[in-house]
Each structure stands twice: as C-alpha cells, then as structure tokens.
Amino acid sequence: MQAHATLHATHTATHNALRESAPGISLDSMPPMNPTLTGEFLARLENHKRILFKVAYLYCRDRDDRQDLVQEMLIQCWRSYARFDERVQFSTWIYRVAVNVAISHFRREGTRIRDTVPLEDYGLNIAAADALFDDDGDNMRALRQLINGLDELNRALILLFLEGFNSEEIAAVVGISASNVSTRINRLKSRLQAEFNAQTEGQPT
C-alpha cells in the first residue's frame, strides 16, 4: 500500500520529470496564428526550408528520427514566429530555432516521445533531399564523419562556418562574442583539417 500510495501521489511529478528529459513538442500545443501571419511565415519558410534539413542532417543520422526532428523544427519555428521582430535576419532567426531544437533533440536521444503524424502530412517531403545526401561524394562523407565526432556546440559552429556565415553572424546565432567565434572556428578548422588529411591519406588511391 505504501508503494502504491507513493506511486500514485508522485505519478504526475514523475511524468513531468520524464517529459522534461524529453520535452517533445506536442502537436496539440500549436499556437494560434492568423491566416496573414501564417501566409507570411510560409513564404519565408519556403525560401529557407533547406536550413531545417541541413541542421537536422548534421545532428541526426537516423532517417526516421530526422523526420521527427525536422517536424519539431517546423513546429517550433511556427510557434516562435509570433515573436519574430526583425531585429535579426530571418535566416539568423531560423538557424537559431533549428540549432536549438536540434541540440535539445540530440541531448535527449533515446527517450523521445514520438509524434505519430508523418512529416508528409505537413507538406514537407524530404525524401529527395535524403537521396541527395546519400549520393554525397567521398569528401563530403569524410567531412560529415568528422563533424559527427564533434560535440553538439562545436557542431553548430562548424555548420555555420560551412554555410558561409562570418564571425559576427555566427555570434548572433550562437550567443558568444565574435572574437570567441573566430578563435574557436580557427581551432576547429585546424583540427578537422588535420583529421581530414589523415583520413584521406589513409585511403587507397
């Protein structure tokens, strides 16, 4: 009886703690958005949708999980869009949301609460993009493998570097100083370069 009473009384706290370990974004928690704002959001998303996929690809190797991750990004972008105030560029904003969702996803792998709605129902088909990444050449594959060896924070830095952002722009996404970004990027570049060279030198010609 003791165990039963305790279990009963702490059930909600347990449930919430587990959810916190996996604070999945429920489809029921979609925010209201007027049709005009929805249209505006979708128009902007159309021009930046590849960002979601690229970030997802770097943080999640499993194809099914990646679908879930892109869906979470999409939903979170939509939820956050009402707060978008143009103080930063939309591309910076969407990178922030995508990287934040990806890191949260990355840190709770294995304990996620899956949604059952397929991404296709949201009108986003990423199968062709998956195929494109599958067809990557040796260099890109080697680079991806090296990036997979980085932790979640440095992975964001190198992604933004590869995307062509400068230090100030990366600093705006990541939230550290531009000088810190420069130093870290240079170190990461040296490290990845050395690892890349070692890897390619070891390959048969």
CA distance 95 to 165: 11
Q: How many CB atoms lie within 10 A of CB 2?
A: 6
Q: How many CB atoms lie within 10 A of CB 160?
A: 24
Write down the least CB distance from residue 17 to another protein, Å. Answer: 3
Say if CB 41 and CB 78 are below 8 A apart: yes
Under the criterion CB under 8 A, does residue 163 sit at the interface with another protein?
yes
Q: Which of 36, 64, 116, 164 binds another protein (CB under 8 A)?
A: 164
Residue 24, both tokens:
């999945």
Say if CB 59 and CB 53 are below 8 A apart: no
**Which 20-79 residues touch another protein, going by CB under 8 A?**
20-21, 23, 26-33, 35, 38-39, 42, 45-46, 49-50, 53-54, 74, 76-79
Under the criterion CB under 8 A, does residue 166 sit at the interface with another protein?
no
Q: Which of 101, 105, 167, 169 binds another protein (CB under 8 A)?
A: 101
Write down the least CB distance from residue 128 to another protein, Å. Answer: 4
Write down the least CB distance from residue 18 to another protein, Å. Answer: 7
Write down the least CB distance from residue 183 to another protein, Å. Answer: 4
Q: Which of 116, 121, 134, 204 binds another protein (CB under 8 A)?
A: 121
Under the criterion CB under 8 A, does residue 202 sit at the interface with another protein?
no
Q: Which of 66, 161, 167, 169 binds another protein (CB under 8 A)?
A: 161
| CA nearest to 95, candidates 146, 31, 161, 38 | 161
Write down the least CB distance from residue 134 to another protein, Å. Answer: 11
Residue 15, both tokens:
């449930």
Burial class for 78, CB neighbours closer than 10 Å (0-12, 13-18, 19+): buried
CA distance 98 to 74: 8
Nearer to another protein, 30 or 62 (CB): 30
